[in-house]
Chains A and B, each alone.
Chain A
Amino acid sequence: MRIDDLYPLAFEHTAQGFRTLMRTLLIKANYDGVLKKTTGFRGMHVSEERQECWTLKFEQFAGVFGIFLANLDDTFGHFHLHYFPSPQEALLEKCSLAEACLANAPDFIDKVRTFYAHDALLAHFFIGTLALHVDPQNESFYGAYQGQMRERIYAKEGVVHPHEPHTLLVPKEGLDKDFPAFRLLLPLMHFFNTTLLRLTQEPPRTFELFRAKGTCLTYDSAGVFHSAADGGSVKILVATGYGKIPHSTLTQTLLEGTHAKKMDDSKSLTVFFQKAPWYELDANNHLVTTPLAQAVPKPKLIVVTGFLGSGKTSFLQHYIEHETQNNRFVGIIQNELGKIGLDGKLLDYDYSLVEMDEGCVCCSLSGQLRAGIGALAQKASPDTILLETSGVANPFNLLSELDELDDLVDFEAIVTVVDGVNALALFEQYRIFQDQVRAADVILLNKSDLLDEITQAKVYARILANNRCAAILPVVEGNIHPSTLRHSIVASTSQIASLISEEESAPFTHVDEGISSLKVTLSTPLTKGLFSTYLRKLPKKIYRVKGVVRFKDEPNPWVVQYVNGQFEFLEQCNGANTETFLVFIGKDLDKGYFEGPL
């Protein structure tokens, strides 16, 4: 690996040199859209209070990861890795009581952002280390992760409940902390290896796993800590190396004195890594560059709907500017010719705009949308496509075609912009307005600053009566940060988080490589009771279902909204000619699985 390709300064084996290297890798990772998708990377923050440290978040974990350069020796720069759990998450129960108290403090997240400046945070929440070795002359780069399957602390004399002297919070010689540290190293490993693959277009030369006996800590009632070998815990070392020369000496240096054994290919952990998208062996069992190295991300599709005067245009303008500031390109598809649309001059720059012909996008869909998105992607490869539907369009008609675009775009959400001030009147007057609210995944309640408390409560109630599943975000002048919007789209993050982090017996799983949507047309009416049971039993990997169905003994069609275990049915009054269908959004969808029960 050419180190000077990573950055053109001569690498110095100093604290500043290692920090610059880490900073460079992290910033470059920021610029890569595919990396975010395949690793769930959700952003980072650098703090330089007292000393430089980085915090990162990933989709599948609710907490915050921390990295800092802890020390340096002749061979390695040693980074320490931390995980600061969210006070709400189940993982916190595996942390020590001291850590749990810290996490429940009201200013915890603010402190986490600058964790190097807080001794308590440096002393706790440790999950493992990353030792880096760089040898520019030999074009060699080596990183070894070390972590324990369980970080354990025993309370020799137990811990007594402060208010109930006969209750022990931790029994004598019981565990105060029993944290699955190694599991939390996985997203970081996945992230760095994917970054290196995409930056260097090279596979690792070395990839080896070792195991050794782990250690645990115990404390007594005087607060004295002792370290001991813990028969139950295991310490793992994962070595990854790039470049021209072998790295075995480096690994041996790290393993000295530990009696570590190499893990062979049959071990489940090894098997797990072999499923990583950056890991591929050729016929001779050598690591090769995988397709991930060259993957180009599909644009995200966000459907923006809203009544005339709702503030849709302002929302689009703010969204575009935020994305542009982050060097991302937004393409717009509008289906209003000559109507009040986006004024390029107003925004100081043009964005790529495609206008759809022939009236309402939602009435004459076949092929239109595909052609429009295709044309946009050809012209400009946008990161996000905003499809602005006309102010009187019914997004349900749109929904049934969205899954057919799965190969072109990643459907993200239907966003409905609602004029808070006129909402109540609009509910009364226009069924289309009601449909727009019902179809939404996110509702932006605009002009929220103009609503008094009573009206606001009424508007919320009315919206909820029409859509219990959407996130409702109050906004002013349509201004909302695109990331806030994204994170409010319920389901993907919490679903996958629960898959990986909470279940004891869950096999290690990789982050999704792509969520897809699947449409099932329904030819016969359903039985309401059976359908409700069916929805309740849906596996977690399906996290959204939207559609229009007919029930036996019901004259009208019903709208179905299912998100994250919650669902509701809403009767449509005039939808006699609506197609009946369901769109499922999740991962690993298999069409056969759906057609059966329905």
Chain B
Amino acid sequence: MRCAFTKKEAIMPTTQTQGRREFLKGAATGLGLGTLSAMGIFSYSPMRAFFLPEAERKMADFGTCKSVKVTNISETSWFDNSILMGDIKGAGGLLVNQYDYNWAPFGDGSGLAKGSYERGIAKIKHLLPNHLEEAWEIIKTNSVNPDNAGGFAALVEIESLEGKKTKYLLDSGWSYAWMDECFKREGIDKMLQNNEIEALIISHEHFDHFWGLPVTMKYAPNIKIIIPEGFYKEGLQYIKDSGHTGEVVVAKKGRNDWEPGFCTYTFDVPIICRVFGEQSLFVNVQDKGLVSITGCCHQGIIKFADTAYKELKYDNDQMYGLYGGLHISPFEDWDPKYDDLVISLGKWDFQKVGCNHCTGLLTAQKFIRAGYPVVEGTAQHRSKSKAYLGNGDIITFG
């Protein structure tokens, strides 16, 4: 049916505009779309159809276990934030490839931001993984701020319903010197040598979680390594160059089950310093609910908790525990009032929370003051505050 008007001038005369304004002022007092039709105004009916299926709550049953215990081997990823941020800014910002920084262990002596994986590894490859002290000496002379490097690693023990305990190593830290010291302190070196650890799970390709890989290789070169989908070629090469002789499993985006009650979920998000993808651990503890363990949670706690809610089935439909680094979201919200970790966390009603340095000290203190069930640590071995679950501290769920 043709329109009767085609060339009419589109004018909105002022009296109509004023009448319109007045009307709209009244509209704020609750005229719904339903009442408009009486006046001849119609809701624009969608002329476009959206063909994409809608998401629903999947509630995949990945099983149940009895308990999970997390021992923090090291949460001090680095020791001085201003040095780290200074390096990142000096190198050109958050989008610069981490392998180019000339940070340990890939220093080639040419200075900040002038490095490369190939040139860096060439200096030390022959020493990995059995001569780490020697390698670290070379690294120190060639790298920018090597003493600032620490690392993140945690020991995760899953207890099955039948009482069987399985150990996983989550991440392998950064500095060879520091991580070896931490491994020895917690007895991880012996556990690895005795094949007590089922697999090394790398949460994401970041320097402070992954570059200390040779330390694990020194004690268990044959261990199964589980990496999230999204590693760049340098990372894949480093696994080989570190002396790994075992199996590499790529955890594809989405859910990956490892044993009853324990799965990881790989998030396809870009992370600072040219890294992509992070996997987080989910454990369904019998009668308690879901425990979430993260390396850093760069995908953001909102995405993280939303995903768990949509995808997984867990006891009591309750988010029970949370341990690890916490960021609200990789986005900066246009409404700053939503950029509040204290409020966001409250929505999920966690029963037991352990923070680390990623959370931020003032934020951790705010959690505590807000009465959140934060499990405090002992602030030892260079961890800076009791508000964190620090180096050597343990948290058990279930």
**Which A positions have Cβ atoms within 8 angstroms of B?**
7-9, 15, 20, 23-24, 26-28, 30-33, 42-46, 48, 50-51, 55-57, 64, 69-72, 80, 87, 92-93, 96-102, 104-106, 109, 113, 119-120, 122-124, 150, 152-162, 164, 167-171, 173-178, 198-199, 216-219, 221, 223, 225-232, 296, 317-318, 321-322, 324-327, 329, 345, 347-352, 379-383, 481-484, 487
Contact for B36 among A31, A51, A101, CB less than 8 A: A101
Assembled-state Cα–Cα distance A101/B39 (Å): 13
* Interface hits, B298-320 → A, CB 8 Å: 303, 306, 310
Find out whether the CB atom of A98 lies under 8 angstroms from the CB atom of B41.
Answer: yes
Q: How far is the CA of A327 from the CA of B273 in the complex (A)?
A: 11
Are B54 and A72 neighbours in the complex by a CB distance under 8 Å? no
CA A15 – CA B351 in complex, angstroms?
36
The reply on B229 being an interface residue by CB < 8 A is yes
Q: Which residues of B contact A101 (CB under 8 A)?
A: 24, 27, 31-33, 36
Q: Nearest-CB distance from A233 to chain B (Å)? A: 9
Report chain A residues within 8 Å CB of B52.
15, 51, 69-72
- Is B334 within 8 A of A329, CB to CB? no
Chain A neighbourhood of B230, CB < 8 A: 7-9
A292 to nearest B CB, angstroms? Answer: 14
Q: Which of A23, A44, A109, A225 contacts B47 (CB 8 A)?
A: A225
- With A70-B50, A71-B51 in contact, is A7–B276 under 8 Å at CB? yes
Tell me if B258 counts as interface (CB < 8 A to partner A): no
A230 close to B16 (CB less than 8 A): no
Q: Looking at the complex, which of B139-147, B151-159, B216-224, B356-364 is the stretch in contact with chain A?
A: B356-364
In the bound complex, do residue A349 and residue B331 qualify as a contact, i.e. CB atoms below 8 Å apart? no
**What are 17 of the A-B contact pairs (CB < 8 Å)?**
A8-B230, A43-B333, A50-B54, A92-B24, A99-B44, A101-B27, A101-B32, A150-B10, A169-B23, A177-B44, A223-B37, A223-B42, A321-B363, A329-B89, A349-B82, A351-B81, A379-B86
A-B pairs with CB below 8 Å: how many? Answer: 278
Residue pair B54, A8 in contact (C-beta under 8 Å) = no
B163 interface hit (Cβ, 8 Å): no
Does chain A have a CB within 8 A of B398? no
Question: Beyond A7-B230, A97-B36, A178-B12, is A161–B23 a contact (Cβ under 8 Å)?
Answer: yes
Give the CA-CA distance A169 to B13 in the complex, in Å.
Answer: 10
Which residues in B have their C-beta under 8 angstroms from that of A176? 41
Contact A51 B361 (CB under 8 A): no
| Contact yes or no, A97 B41, CB < 8 A | yes
**Given contact pairs A23-B269, A325-B363, A348-B357, A225 touches B337 in the complex (Cβ within 8 A):** no
Chain B interface (Cβ within 8 Å of chain A)? 1-13, 16-17, 19-21, 23-24, 27-28, 31-33, 35-52, 54-55, 80-83, 85-86, 88-90, 92-95, 229-232, 253, 268-270, 272, 276-277, 303, 306, 310, 327-341, 357, 360-363, 384-385
The reply to whether A352 and B6 form a contact with Cβ atoms under 8 Å apart is no
Within the complex, the shortest CB–CB distance from B276 to chain A, in Å, comes to: 5
> CA of A423 to CA of B82 in the docked complex: distance in angstroms?
35
List, in ascending order, chain B residues with CB within 8 A of A50's CB. Answer: 54-55
Q: Which residues of A contact B23 (CB under 8 A)?
A: 97, 161-162, 169
Closest chain-A Cβ to B37's Cβ sits at a distance in Å of: 6
Instruction: Tell me the minimal C-beta distance from B310 to chain A in angstroms.
Output: 8
A174 CB contacts on chain B under 8 angstroms: 11-12, 16
CA distance A382 to B90 in the complex (A): 9
Chain B contacts for A15, CB-based, 8 A: 52
Is there contact, CB below 8 Å, between A380 and B90? yes
Contact yes or no, A231 B7, CB < 8 A:
yes
Tell me the smallest distance from the CB of A104 to a CB of chain B, in Å: 4
Given contacts A32-B94, A71-B52, A296-B92, contact A44 B86 (CB under 8 A): no
A326 surroundings in chain B (CB, below 8 A)? 332
Docked-complex contact B1 and A46, CB < 8 angstroms: no
Q: Give A429 to B217 CA distance when docked, in angstroms.
A: 69
For B277, list chain A residues within 8 Å (CB).
Answer: 8-9
Judge whether B44 and A483 touch: CB under 8 Å: no
Q: Which chain A residue lies CB-closest to B364?
A: A348
Closest to B302 in A: A46
> How far, in whole Å, are A325 and B332 apart by their CA atoms in the complex?
10
Q: In whole angstroms, how far apart are the Cα atoms of A102 and B51 in the complex?
A: 25
- Report how far A109 CA is from B338 CA in the complex, Å: 12
What are the residues of chain B within 8 A of A31 when measuring CB–CB?
Answer: 93-95, 272
Q: How far is the CA of A349 from the CA of B364 in the complex (A)?
A: 14
The 6 closest A-B CB pairs, nearest first, are A349-B81, A43-B334, A381-B89, A348-B361, A57-B334, A380-B86
Cα distance, A341 to B277, chains bound together (Å): 40
Given A27-B331, A120-B33, also A231-B6 (CB < 8 A): yes
A72→B82 contact, CB < 8 A: no
> Which residues of B sit under 8 angstroms from A352, Cβ to Cβ?
82, 86
B12 and A42 contact, CB distance less than 8 A: no
Q: Is the CB of B24 within 8 A of A32?
A: no
Q: Which of B44, B46, B88, B268 contacts A9 (CB 8 A)?
A: B268
- Residue contact A51 to B55, C-beta cutoff 8 Å: yes
Taken together as a complex, chains A and B put the C-alpha atoms of A198 and B384 apart, in Å, by: 38
A380 and B85 in contact, given A44-B334, A174-B12 (Cβ under 8 angstroms): yes
Q: Are A226 and B44 in contact (CB under 8 A)?
A: no
- Nearest to B8 among chain A residues (CB) is A173
- Whether B6 contacts A160 by the Cβ 8 Å rule is no
What residue of chain A has the Cβ atom nearest to residue B340's Cβ?
A481
Distance of A216 Cα from B230 Cα, bound (Å): 45
User: Known contacts A159-B40, A483-B339: does B332 contact A43 (CB below 8 Å)?
Assistant: yes
- Residues of A close to B4: CB separation below 8 A: 156, 173
Q: Which chain B residues border A216 with CB–CB below 8 Å?
A: 3
Known: A223-B37, A348-B357, A483-B332. A171 touches B45 (CB 8 A): no
Query: Smallest Cβ distance from A163 to chain B, in angstroms?
Result: 8
Q: A96-B44, A381-B86 are in contact. Are A102 and B33 (CB under 8 A)?
A: yes
